[in-house]
Structures are given as structure tokens and as C-alpha cells.
Amino acid sequence: MSIIITPLRAIIDFIYGLVGNYSVAIILFTLVIKLVLSPLDFKQRSSSRKMAALNDKIQEINKKYDKDPEKKNMKTMELYKKEGVNPLSGCLPMLIQLPIIFAMFAVLRHIADEQAVSMFLTAFNGGSFIPESFLWVHNIWQPDNIMAPIIPLLETVQVIRPIAGNPIVTEANLALMAANYETVMKPLFDVYNTGTANGWAILPLAAGASQFFMAKFTTPPPPQQQPKKAGAPDMSKMMLYMMPLMSVFFCWQYNAAFAVYWATSSLYSIGLYYASNFFAKLKEGKSTSPATLSDSEGKRK
């Protein structure tokens, strides 16, 4: 995983060096990554539309060869080949994006740990520390929810582990922080952790809502390979609600920076869906334009 984490961290740090704000850097980073992967996303959505258009023909094959699974699979693959559809092409973007999601989870955890240790070291050396805020969130390295303190407590930072090659999150600094955290950080606690919530759970809810919208409106129904058995669970409906709930849960528990990434990624995917549909309809309109139809009629005459 480090082969992915290292370059992602380098890109985020580079953007941060230009804009001086991690929230903005994460948003820009997300847009850059999604833009790079856009051709794959367009291809996936094009394949999904073609698959959905073949649904009726696949149903006919299923019905005709219901008692001959081997023949049914062969005829289905022949149909895919004839129509130029690869049923596995839609999986490629997800296979590429999953490692990026996991790597981003690790990268933002590393930065959050680094920020917590830096905060302590600054206070330990008599300096002043101001948490990085984002809109309603007072500290983006803490969760955006009404229960999270703005300055992390001792039990939170005790789970931090040394990061290989990181000059700040070292075993020596962590030991120093464990021994002196509460006494050194008390002035910050008195200023920030005074009954004020770190956030209002807007980012987790936005991440969940955008995930739900994306799943409900941007994912075409897959072709039915075989009739659904009575009483069998509807997996598509389960995923429709499960993924948004998981998004809310993770973004509620994890730092707000990850919620910024997740919400930005989902919103971009929704925008890409509408752009993809727009260009698809534009292409279809050109292929069935009056000039094209008249040319076809002329050739038939």
C-alpha cells in the first residue's frame, strides 16, 4: 500500500504548498484524481448503458434456454460480442479507485497524526497553535460531529503509532506526548474544548446523501441474468441504503478531512454522470439527425 500512499501524500503536500490550506488542497487533489480517471468512468457508464439496452434480449435468452445453462451462457456471450459489450469493463474503474480510497484513508490519518503531534510539540515549546478550520468545522483533523472535541483528548492521541520516515511522528515524540499531554495541552483545552462542538455532522450527512443520490440515480439497472427467486433479498436495494449509511458512519467517526474527500468525490461522480448522459444524448442526436436520415433514404432509393 505504501507504493500508493507515498505519491498521494506527495501530491497533497505539493498542492498544500501552493494553496496553504489542507481542505482546499484535498478538494483540488480529489478533482485532479477524478479528472484523470474520467475516461475510465465515461467508458464504464457507456458500457452500463449498452448493458441496460440489452436487458430485453437477455431476458429472451434466459427464457428460451432456461433449462440449458451452458447454452444460455454461450448465447449471452455471443450477444455481448455481437453488440460490442464487455460485461467486465464496468469493474475496472472500481478496481482502480478502491486502492486509492484505502490509500487516502491512510494518508489523511498520517497527516492527522502529524498535526496532533505538531500541535503538542508547539505547545510544549511555548508556541501558539491554531487548528485548521473549514467552514463550520473548527478542526478538520477531528470528526465533523457534535460529540467530537476541537482539540483531541489523550485517549485519542494514545492510539497514534510511529510513522516510518516521518520526522514528527516518531517514537520519542510520542513518548514525550504521552507523558506530558494533558498538562501541556491544558491551555488549549481551556480555549477550545469549552462545550463547543467541532462540527455539526454536515459533511457526514452530505457524504451519505451524495452517495445515496449517486447510487439511486447514476447506476443503471444491471441486466437480469435470471429471474429473481421469491423471497430472495434484493441486493441492489441493500447496497442502495447500505453504502450511504456506511459513508455517514465512517465520516462521522473519522476526521473531517476524509469527509471532505468523500463528499467531493461523490459530488464529482454525480456531475460526471450528467455530463456523460449529455454527451451520450448529443451523440445519439447526431446519429439520428435529419441529414443522416435523408442520406440513408437516398441510398435506399
User: What type of residue is 280?
Assistant: A
Tens-digit pLDDT profile for residues 99-134? 888 889 899 999 999 999 999 999 999 988 889 999
User: What type of residue is 228?
Assistant: K
175: its cell numbers: 513518548
Section 209-224 average pLDDT: 68
Section 18-39 average pLDDT: 90
Residue with cell 455471443: 78
User: Over 60: is that where the pLDDT of 207 sits?
Assistant: yes
User: Over 50: is that where the pLDDT of 50 sits?
Assistant: yes
Q: What is the pLDDT of residue 199?
A: 92
Place 293 in a pLDDT band, splitting at 50, 70 and 90: very low
159: its cell numbers: 492510539
116: its cell numbers: 496532533
Report the chain's mean pLDDT, rounded to a whole number.
81
pTM of the model: 0.77
Using a pLDDT cut of 70, give the percent of the chain over it: 77
Tens-digit pLDDT profile for residues 67-79? 777 877 887 777 7
User: What type of residue is 203?
Assistant: L
Q: What is the pLDDT of residue 225?
A: 47
Q: What is the pLDDT of residue 261?
A: 92
Q: What is the pLDDT of residue 45?
A: 67
Q: What is the pLDDT of residue 170?
A: 95
Q: What is the pLDDT of residue 292?
A: 46
Q: Are 257 and 141 in contact (CB under 8 A)?
A: yes
Q: What is the pLDDT of residue 36?
A: 85
Q: Which of 209, 260, 258 is nearest to 27 (CA)?
A: 260
Tens-digit pLDDT profile for residues 53-70? 677 777 887 787 777 778
How far is CA 288 from each of CA 47, 153, 244, 268, 299, rounded to the nearest angstrom? 20, 64, 39, 30, 15
Tell me the range of 33-47, 61-75, 191-205, 263-277 where mean pLDDT is highest.
191-205
Place 218 in a pLDDT band, splitting at 50, 70 and 90: low
φ, ψ of residue 156 in degrees (nearest 5): -75, -45
Place 91 in a pLDDT band, splitting at 50, 70 and 90: low
Q: What is the pLDDT of residue 179?
A: 93
Tens-digit pLDDT profile for residues 127-171? 888 899 999 999 999 999 999 999 999 988 999 999 988 999 999
φ, ψ of residue 134 in degrees (nearest 5): -150, 110
User: Over 70: is that where the pLDDT of 86 sits?
Assistant: no
Higher model confidence: residue 133 or residue 241?
133
179: its cell numbers: 507523558
Q: Are 16 and 22 in contact (CB under 8 A)?
A: yes
Q: Are 129 and 179 in contact (CB under 8 A)?
A: no
